[in-house]
Structure 1
Amino acid sequence: MPSREDILNAKILVVDDSPDNIELMEEILREEGYTSVSSTMLPEQVCPLHRQHNYDIILLDLQMPGLNGFQVMKGLKEIEKGGYLPVLALTAQPSFKIAALEAGARDFISKPFDLLEVHKRIHNMLEVRLLYKELAQYSKTQQELALHDALTGLPNRRLLEDRIETTLQHASRNHHKAAIMYLDLDGFKAINDTYGHAYGDEVLKIVAQRLLATSRKEDTVARLGGDEFMVVLGEVNSLADAQGPAAKLVEAVSEPFFINDLTLRLSTSIGISIYPDDAESVESLISIADYALYEAKRGGKNRFCATSASPAQMVPPPKLELVPRRR
């Protein structure tokens, strides 16, 4: 539940065409301890202000010249699509109360103001609003976790397939090609078996950082699970445009890994498939890249391979080393 401090720090907007009413409401709120209170007498400013500041509650007078409160709420609904409309209606007309609730207001305050009623209704509505925001953030976090690898923070297979599909659609529209690079680490099992999974996890996190640093911002770098990764390149013209990045990835992974007092070494093998040359579906492209990866492994590891080209010859893979790290 939101704390009292959270409630008192909530962002509040007072909307009324009467300066006396605004002054009175601001005084009520300040005396109660609210710290972030704004106001306007111009109803047409409410929506732009809410887009900018995302208020936790809007105390909205229903009877104003120009745009009335009902029209303002209609605009706010466009901003809060599928969300919680943070409007507390202010009205001196009993007949407007039900109409305000039907229009989207969460509650109302009658004029002239009753001090106890004002405090209670504002507090209760802010409590609900802030709780709703907490739940929305939690839901967003859970969704992020469902689409990203917990260890490296990279997109997982579920998000990867969607990213590949988007890349292929973009390539098709713009008459470009796309490349799928399937990576598997050489010698990773030896690290896990020799030093334990904690060291293996650190290696995986460093590999993820190196792949991101070596790739373009518009490329997708994902972890499929275990020691398997995938890099998706958009807007390539030929296989040659993927071979250069693949060579850089092989080189980046072969750099030493400094973890605690150890210097560890391993390499990577990469299989490449090209859209639409090799296939046009996500599943087929992944399958072909997987087969090319197998060929790279069979050809000696620490290299990349495409099924339509002979494996690129790289430096032989270095052996796993245990070297005291210099202090």
Structure 2
Amino acid sequence: MTQMQKVLIVDDSQTNLALLNHMLAQEGCDIVQAKSGIEAIELVRHTNFALILLDIQMPGMNGYETALKIKEFDKGRHVPIIFITAIFQDEDNVRQGYETGAVDYLFRPVDVETLKSKVQVFLQLNEQKMLLEREIDQRRKSEHALGVAEEKYRSIFERAVEGIFQATVTGVLSEVNPAMVRLFGYDSADEMVGVEAMRQHLMIDADEREEYIKVLKRDGFVSNFEFRARKKDGEIIWCSESSRLVTLEGKETEFIEGVLEDVTKRKLNEMELKHLATVDSLTGVPNRHLFFDRAEHALAHAKRYGTKVAVLFVDLNDFKRVNDTYGHQTGDELLRMVAERLMRRTRETDTLARLGGDEFGVLLTNLEDPESAVFVSGNLLEVMDSPFIIQGESIKVGATVGISYYPDDGKDCVTLISRADAAMYGAKKRGGVRFGTFKDCGVPK
């Protein structure tokens, strides 16, 4: 029976050891644990490991120091090390990790499928390495043994699920595996060889290309570099690439080699989550958080260039009556329709947001004079005059608008909204008035 390959997990946290052990329990390997760098070094001296998963932040001897010591022993010199960390994610620490012998990085929280995929690749490589060593020993490094070894390594290259490539230093692809061909929708490797990867053919964004080249030249490698790429049929996808410049001793750079994967689904999910975090789920307009963010930027710009900003606080009249009479479902539909009407009367440079309940805010930037805000308020009120038809019912609701100005009424967003709110209530109290400014409401600053 073939002996199971050993994977060493090094972490001072028993919780982390147990979690990683659980993740890899079904991966067909023998898990060995060490709770310190010293314990790990002692194990490596006497044991053949296929892979080491090494925590960076440990008391006494940290992960970098442990990796350097491991590489001093014959049994540790060629063992691949993957650093796992939740803290040391900056470029300097990543570079230090590669310099101490790491082959890859994983950042906490660790994605289970990513961990399993990487472990399986290195287990396969180690298995082929052990087979190769046995064959070379048996056949005394004959040409046949070398040919078999090359074929086995080529098999891994061909079967990998991630795109693997080699390219010239100018970015022209010279070798690609089948996964790379499938990823970009080409018919064969021969068709893809010769494509200029660092031009519009694949890496489409000029700024991303410039950043990629800068990092590659500066550090000699890129790790998990994300960029937009164009497939053969024109479809745009997101890719994550880890690659390095390969140099031969005493010679110029020979080529670039790397691994690439499609991360489009994850990127789209991230963008969707970011969108949902800043948009009101009911009306589809910006929410209070995004309104404050844009207001702070607008106020900083106004302060720098001496321009004016206005905040309008729009409150619906008798909205509670609508909910009580027709139900909350009708009330929700009314809020959606109100948002649509108000959007039609605001400029693209302005921001309409739902601040909560039946309250909306409008941020007006680069005002030429205060009367512009009064004019916009009139437009918003006018568009509310027509009744809303919801499920055959004609529903009429009005609105009252309060106006505050930067810098006259406040220097920050919270103050401006508060004073626009006060102006709105002042207008309601006066009766027969549909909008008012903070100056009109008589509340002291």
- Give the deviation of 1:171 after TM superposition: 1.5
Residues in 2 aligned to 1:15 and 1:168: alpha-carbon distance in whole angstroms: 50
Instruction: Report the secondary structure of 2:411's partner residue.
Output: coil
Q: Indicate yes or no: 2:384 matched with 1:253.
A: yes
Q: Indicate yes or no: 2:172 matched with 1:41.
A: no
Residues in 1 aligned to 2:275 and 2:293: alpha-carbon distance in whole angstroms: 14
Q: Which residue, out of 223, 226, 247, partners 1:80?
A: 226
Q: Which residue of 2 aligns with 1:179?
A: 310
Q: Which runs of 5+ in 2 are unaligned?
A: 1-112, 114-160, 207-212, 228-237, 249-254
- Give the deviation of 1:52 after TM superposition: 1.8
Displacement over 4 Å in runs of 4+: 10-17, 22-26, 32-35, 70-79, 87-91
Q: Which residue, out of 340, 352, 360, partners 1:229?
A: 360
- The answer to whether the 8 A contact 1:250-1:302 is kept is no
Instruction: Report the secondary structure of 2:348's partner residue.
Output: coil
Mean alpha-carbon deviation: is it higher for 300-309 or for 265-274? 300-309
Residues in 1 aligned to 2:296 and 2:425: alpha-carbon distance in whole angstroms: 24
Q: Equivalent residues in 2 for 1:41-190 (5 A)?
A: 41=194, 45-52=197-204, 80=226, 85-86=240-241, 105-106=258-259, 126=261, 129-130=262-263, 133-190=264-321
Q: 1:24 to 1:52 in 2, by over 3 A?
A: closer
- The answer to whether the 8 A contact 1:250-1:268 is kept is yes
Q: 1:29 to 1:172 in 2, by over 3 A?
A: closer
Structure 1 vs Structure 2: percent identity of aligned residues? 31
Task: For residues 33-58 of structure 1, give each alpha carbon's deviation from its aligned partner in whole angstroms, at most 9, with x where no partner exists.
Answer: 77712635365x5254333289xxxx
Q: 1:251 to 1:201 in 2, by over 3 A?
A: same
Q: 1:290 to 1:104 in 2, by over 3 A?
A: farther
Aligned length: 254
Q: 1:52 to 1:297 in 2, by over 3 A?
A: same
Q: Which runs of 5+ in 1 are unaligned?
A: 2-9, 55-66, 94-99, 107-124, 312-327
Residues in 1 aligned to 2:398 and 2:323: alpha-carbon distance in whole angstroms: 15
- The answer to whether the 8 A contact 2:285-2:354 is kept is yes
- Give the deviation of 1:161 after TM superposition: 0.7
Q: Which residue of 2 aligns with 1:318?
A: none
Give the letter for the 1:46 counterpart: M
Residues in 1 aligned to 2:422 and 2:339: alpha-carbon distance in whole angstroms: 22
Give the letter for the 1:36 counterpart: G
- Give the deviation of 1:240 after TM superposition: 1.0
Task: For residues 2-26 of structure 1, give each alpha carbon's deviation from its aligned partner in whole angstroms, at most 9, with x where no partner exists.
Answer: xxxxxxxx99796656xxxx89968
Q: 1:42 to 1:206 in 2, by over 3 A?
A: closer
Q: Equivalent residues in 2 for 1:23-42 (5 A)?
A: 36-37=185-186, 39-41=192-194
Residues in 1 aligned to 2:198 and 2:164: alpha-carbon distance in whole angstroms: 8
- The answer to whether the 8 A contact 1:15-1:40 is kept is no
Give the letter for the 2:407 counterpart: P
- Give the deviation of 1:254 after TM superposition: 2.0
Give the letter for the 1:190 counterpart: R
- The answer to whether the 8 A contact 2:166-2:257 is kept is no
Q: 1:25 to 1:157 in 2, by over 3 A?
A: closer
Residues in 2 aligned to 1:158 and 1:74: alpha-carbon distance in whole angstroms: 41
Residues in 2 aligned to 1:302 and 1:163: alpha-carbon distance in whole angstroms: 29
TM-score normalised by L of structure 1:
0.64
Residues in 2 aligned to 1:251 and 1:289: alpha-carbon distance in whole angstroms: 19
- Give the deviation of 1:176 after TM superposition: 1.0
Residues in 1 aligned to 2:221 and 2:199: alpha-carbon distance in whole angstroms: 6
- Give the deviation of 1:76 after TM superposition: 6.9
Give the letter for the 1:39 counterpart: M
Residues in 2 aligned to 1:73 and 1:301: alpha-carbon distance in whole angstroms: 69
Q: 1:266 to 1:138 in 2, by over 3 A?
A: same
- The answer to whether the 8 A contact 2:312-2:420 is kept is yes
- The answer to whether the 8 A contact 2:312-2:404 is kept is yes
- The answer to whether the 8 A contact 2:174-2:194 is kept is no
Larger Rg: 2
**What is the CA RMSD across the aligned residues, in angstroms?**
4.1
Instruction: Report the secondary structure of 2:204's partner residue.
Output: helix
Q: 1:89 to 1:204 in 2, by over 3 A?
A: same
Residues in 1 aligned to 2:218 and 2:167: alpha-carbon distance in whole angstroms: 12
Residues in 1 aligned to 2:331 and 2:274: alpha-carbon distance in whole angstroms: 26
- The answer to whether the 8 A contact 1:14-1:40 is kept is no
- The answer to whether the 8 A contact 2:314-2:359 is kept is yes
TM-score normalised by L of structure 2:
0.49
Q: Which residue of 1 aligns with 2:325?
A: 194
- Give the deviation of 1:174 after TM superposition: 2.0
Q: 1:40 to 1:223 in 2, by over 3 A?
A: same
Instruction: Report the secondary structure of 2:267's partner residue.
Output: helix
Instruction: Report the secondary structure of 1:149's partner residue.
Output: coil
Residues in 2 aligned to 1:306 and 1:187: alpha-carbon distance in whole angstroms: 22
